[in-house]
């Protein structure tokens, strides 16, 4: 069972309401039975933290998905594959930056039937920084 299946299984235990986790001035994560919202409050700090965690886990030779993205097309392919799994399970992943939705995975959009880009400029800003 892959990690996404565990996430979906966990979400299925939520019958109503939601719960929220906030790491002060860094990220907020809100989980409900249908949606997972990840609100990035400070991208630079979050990126530094993730880089530190990757250095600590260097024993594992897994490559970050960001390093695998070589072009916009490969990004779209990656998002489409991930979003397909969310749509199959009737779930959505909503990526936000300071409260503003950037990307909704698992919802029909213009470029894909599996994800919707809500704010192209913010998405590119995050990916290119």
Nearest C-alpha neighbor of 38 from the set 79, 98, 126, 118: 98
**Which pLDDT score, from 0 to 100, does residue 10 have?**
86
- The parts of the chain modelled with pLDDT lower than 70 are 1, 58-72
Backbone CA torsion sign across 55, 57, 59, 62:
negative
In the chain, where the domains are located = 3-128
Could you tell me if residue 25 is left (phi over 0), alpha (psi between -120 and 50 degrees) or otherwise beta?
Answer: left
For residue 1, give Cα distances in angstroms to 7, 8, 91. 11, 11, 17
**Which pLDDT score, from 0 to 100, does residue 20 have?**
92
Give me the residue label for tokens 């779209």: 76
What is the Cα–Cα distance from 55 to 53, expressed in whole angstroms?
5
**Which pLDDT score, from 0 to 100, does residue 46 have?**
83
**Which pLDDT score, from 0 to 100, does residue 52 have?**
81
Give me the residue label for tokens 């995050």: 126
**Which pLDDT score, from 0 to 100, does residue 70 have?**
64
């Amino acid at each position: 069972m892959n990690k996404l299946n565990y996430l979906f299984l966990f979400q299925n235990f939520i019958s109503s309401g939601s719960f929220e986790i906030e790491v002060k001035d860094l990220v907020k994560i809100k989980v409900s039975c249908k949606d997972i919202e990840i609100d990035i409050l400070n991208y630079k700090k979050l990126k530094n933290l993730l880089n530190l965690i990757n250095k600590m886990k260097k024993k594992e030779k897994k490559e970050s998905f960001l390093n695998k993205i070589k072009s916009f097309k490969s990004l779209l392919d990656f998002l489409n594959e991930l979003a397909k799994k969310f749509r199959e399970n009737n779930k959505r992943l909503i990526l936000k930056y300071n409260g503003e939705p950037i990307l909704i995975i698992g919802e029909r959009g213009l470029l894909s039937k599996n994800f919707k880009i809500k704010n192209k400029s913010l998405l590119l800003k995050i990916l290119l920084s």
